[in-house]
Chain A
Amino acid sequence: MSKLGGLVAGVGLSAWVLAGTSCGGGAERGGESAAAAGAAVAFPVDTTSAAAINGRVAFVGSRPAAARIDMSEEPTCAQKHPGGAFVEAVLVNDNGTLRNVFVYVKSGLPALTFPVPAEPVEIDQNGCVYSPRVFGIQTGQTLSIRNSDGLLHNIKALPTTNRPFNISQPTTMTTMRSFATAEVMVPLECNVHSWMNAYVGVVTHPYFSTTGADGSFTLRRLPPGTYVVEAWHERYGAQEQTVTVGPNETKAITFTFRAS
């Protein structure tokens, strides 16, 4: 999304968030929006006529071998992976679908302002691996960053539109942050453990989903309309499909990624 678009969305958000989250495009502390989210605002879509888009992300071709991670420098983490740790950039499910694909409505939504969920999105650093590795979050929503390893991680966001952050967590602790502007995707990395990578899809609305162990996704409670839906994968890039859904309609689509 363009900087301007994010700014507009951000302004709308500020109007709604009474605490007045900044629209300057910064990674903000999470506390403000969490507190403000207590204000009850109705969901701005008529749920009696709402539509849905669901489907799956198929993977075609031979699944690439995952590289083994050498965690010998970090025995505490190595012990959490008795069978060895592997780079999780490409995870192909047994049913031939692709995991960790971020699917979201890229464009087509009417000018609506969506409430920011009160509950934070959580990312954990456990066994020197990010969990989840790929996920979505709404602008202004609290990102709760936990270090369960109790050893030094720094979590660094490398956005291009949002402001970055780089936080040291040398012990078991939790830190809150948020993103002010839509941006797909914001990379996260740990510089202490160069194999640790995660990706956050920041959007201004709740229409996003990340494929899991069954490779499926669901975008619920959509106003009827025509949308560009994008599926993003860290190795295989992004694909778009244009989908039109009528009132109360549920349409299934399939994205297909091929081994490169």
Chain B
Amino acid sequence: MRRKGTASLLLAGAAALAALAAFAAPPNRQGDVGADRERGREVYMKWCAGCHGDEGRGDGPAAEHLLPKPRDFTMALYQVRSTATGQLPLDEDILRVVNEGMPGSSMPGWKAVLSGAERAAVVRYLKTLSPDFAPATAPPAALSFGSAPRGGDAAALEGRDLYRRIECWKCHGDSGRGDGTSAPTLKDDLGNPIRAADLTQNWTFNGGGTAPDIYRVLRTGMDGTPMPSFGDLIEGRIITDEQLWRVAQYVRSLSPAEPPRARDVVRAARVEAGLPSGPDDSAWASVERYYYPLVGQVIVRPRWFAPMVSGLWVQALHDGRALALRVTWHDPSQSPDSSWNVWRARVAARMGADDSAAADSTPLPDRLAVQFPARLPAGLDRPYFLMGSVEEPVYLWSWESEPRSAVEATARGADRLEPLAGLTDSVATSSTYDHGEWRVQFTRALSTGDSTNQLEFVTGRPIPMAFYAWDGSNGETGARMAVGSWSAVYLAEPARASTYLSPAFAMLATAGLGLTVIWRAQRHRRKTTDDGTDIGTSEAE
């Protein structure tokens, strides 16, 4: 690419010019090109090569731990584009990913880290890594997307109907949770296992979670992945452009208006009418849901960089005698499920040797564990978040999908988990698996009479709480799991009689005091007027 025949003086001048104008316009002189590429390369080597590799082949030192794998730029395949399937992306398309990242992968956004000029230079550098972007090649043509049609209830129904008709559910599942029949077999162009997106979590979508973003993906497909383009359906007059927008709008409607935020304390309201009987009891519908994010466990070996469960929702209630927790999370398989063996083998084969399980197909269940300190800590101290320590153990409720049951355990570290013998029936669980979602209700008496081993739940103070999740079909077992940090559950105190009387008493007292003050002031004013003396001296009487 670099032409050394150019006079060095010109090169130096061009380099300075390129540095100034890097963001304004792509360079068009040869000297500029060389200097600009060098500038982009510097940014790339510093920030990108760790994952994407020195040559851009997606094989940096971190790549073996990542799934999805980093992009191989020499293939010139880009998921997020505004061009037809198989076509090269626009510069703006690449820049968008550099700016915003790929939320469904390890790729972060770089807007806050790199300057505009640096980002633009790195985009141009990436294009030099594949001959497909050769300058002689005609620039790719952007598709015309139009804008979202107005919708109503009928439009939403049409979107739902089309989602079924064009069979999005084959991969993404009937409820959109990425649990379709083809989901276990999906692989990218390099043979890496790749998940059908969970369409109910639009904050994880590569390319953005708005309806126009989703429409763009439907039109263009995501090159390098199984996601195809639906553009030929419009050109073949099988569906209209508006109908494709309806699908996009329907998919958008599967996610909440705003991405969930993690909060520190799960509030367990007190109910008098009894606790829900199971996770599908309608009483849960009106109870606030708290999002709890999870990440791969990468502290102790074996580490786990590819967890299936990325977060869960927690609800809590108590009735003064027992605590009920409802935990829901998305997992595309009800493990053990042999149809996911192909997925599990691919995951095992693609992770780094020191972290990966031997590719076996021993049936593994799904698991969820709720963690509390073994004893209520004084003050703000909490046991080590990763299953405690010898000095400060933790107390766990460990639920499994097969056989469907829960046990209590004490852990003194990630490798020291001991079931509490003879106490397995103090935590009751009830669970449902429904179209890619687990819903489990845990219920336990606030006090079990064994405060040595089992935490006593008290009202009126936050009790540390954390969660772990395992997807057996993803090969997750033991330390190969998804973990979160400490949050807490707060059991609301019962409303006492004083709760209602105190404000009334305070109101009366305030009113009385106010009247007294007014009465005194008026009496005083009358007095000063009668005496003809000023207020200051009258006070001294």
Q: What is the bound-complex CA distance between A169 and B167, given in angstroms?
A: 10
Interface size for A (C-beta < 8 A) is 30
Q: What is the bound-complex CA distance between A171 and B243, given in angstroms?
A: 15
Partner of B86, one of A165, A173, A175: A165
Check B137–A151 contact: CB distance below 8 A: no
Check B228–A173 contact: CB distance below 8 A: no
Q: What is the bound-complex CA distance between A167 and B138, given in angstroms?
A: 23
Partner of B238, one of A22, A154, A167, A173: A173
Q: What is the bound-complex CA distance between A194 and B187, given in angstroms?
A: 9
Check B233–A25 contact: CB distance below 8 A: no
Partner of B85, one of A152, A165, A174: A165
Check B171–A191 contact: CB distance below 8 A: yes
Q: Tell whether B418 is near chain A: CB-to-CB under 8 Å.
A: no
Which of B219-227, B264-272, B384-392, B512-520 lies on the face that meets chain A?
B219-227
The distance from the CB of A252 to the nearest CB of chain B, in whole angstroms, is: 39
Q: What is the bound-complex CA distance between A115 and B420, given in angstroms?
A: 80
- CB neighbours of B186 from chain A (8 A): 191
Check A163–B86 contact: CB distance below 8 A: yes
Residues 176-204 of A, flagged 1 when their CB comes within 8 A of B and 0 if not, give: 00000000000000011110000000000
Check B228–A167 contact: CB distance below 8 A: yes
Check B236–A175 contact: CB distance below 8 A: yes
Q: Tell whether A170 is near chain B: CB-to-CB under 8 Å.
A: yes
Check B238–A27 contact: CB distance below 8 A: no
Known: A154-B226, A191-B226. A170 touches B166 (CB 8 A): yes
Q: Tell whether A258 is near chain B: CB-to-CB under 8 Å.
A: no
Chain A 147-178 interface residues, beta-carbon cutoff 8 Å to B: 151-152, 154-158, 163-171, 173-175
Check A156–B138 contact: CB distance below 8 A: no
Known: A151-B167, A152-B170, A191-B226. A166 touches B86 (CB 8 A): yes
Q: Residue of B at shortest CB range from A70?
A: B339
- CB neighbours of A156 from chain B (8 A): 226, 228
- CB neighbours of A171 from chain B (8 A): 165-166, 238
Contact residues on B (Cβ < 8 Å of other chain), bracket:
20 to 34
Q: What is the bound-complex CA distance between A203 and B185, given in angstroms?
A: 32
Known: A151-B167, A158-B189, A175-B236. A166 touches B132 (CB 8 A): no
Check A164–B226 contact: CB distance below 8 A: no
The distance from the CB of A146 to the nearest CB of chain B, in whole angstroms, is: 12
Known: A26-B86, A152-B166, A152-B167. A167 touches B232 (CB 8 A): yes
The distance from the CB of B319 to the nearest CB of chain A, in whole angstroms, is: 45
Q: Tell whether A84 is near chain B: CB-to-CB under 8 Å.
A: no
The distance from the CB of B18 to the nearest CB of chain A, in whole angstroms, is: 27
- CB neighbours of B231 from chain A (8 A): 167
Check B185–A163 contact: CB distance below 8 A: no
Q: Tell whether B77 is near chain A: CB-to-CB under 8 Å.
A: yes
- CB neighbours of A158 from chain B (8 A): 189
Q: Tell whether A24 is near chain B: CB-to-CB under 8 Å.
A: yes
- CB neighbours of B170 from chain A (8 A): 152, 192
- CB neighbours of B238 from chain A (8 A): 171, 173
- CB neighbours of B88 from chain A (8 A): 163
Chain A 23-72 interface residues, beta-carbon cutoff 8 Å to B: 24-27
- CB neighbours of A151 from chain B (8 A): 167
Query: Which are the 10 A-B pairs with shortest beta-carbon distances?
Result: A191-B226, A152-B167, A194-B185, A154-B228, A168-B228, A170-B166, A165-B86, A166-B228, A163-B86, A164-B86
> Can you list 16 A-B contacts with CB-CB less than 8 angstroms, sorted by A residue number?
A73-B181, A152-B167, A157-B86, A163-B86, A163-B87, A164-B189, A166-B223, A167-B228, A167-B229, A168-B229, A168-B233, A170-B233, A173-B233, A175-B232, A191-B187, A194-B182
What residues of chain A have their CB less than 8 Å away from a CB belonging to chain B?
Answer: 3, 22, 24-27, 73, 151-152, 154-158, 163-171, 173-175, 191-194
Further contacts, 8 of them, CB under 8 A, given A154-B228, A166-B85 = A22-B138, A24-B138, A27-B86, A164-B86, A164-B224, A191-B185, A191-B226, A192-B171
What residues of chain B have their CB less than 8 Å away from a CB belonging to chain A?
Answer: 77, 85-88, 131-132, 137-138, 165-167, 170-171, 181-182, 185-187, 189, 221, 223-224, 226-233, 236, 238, 342
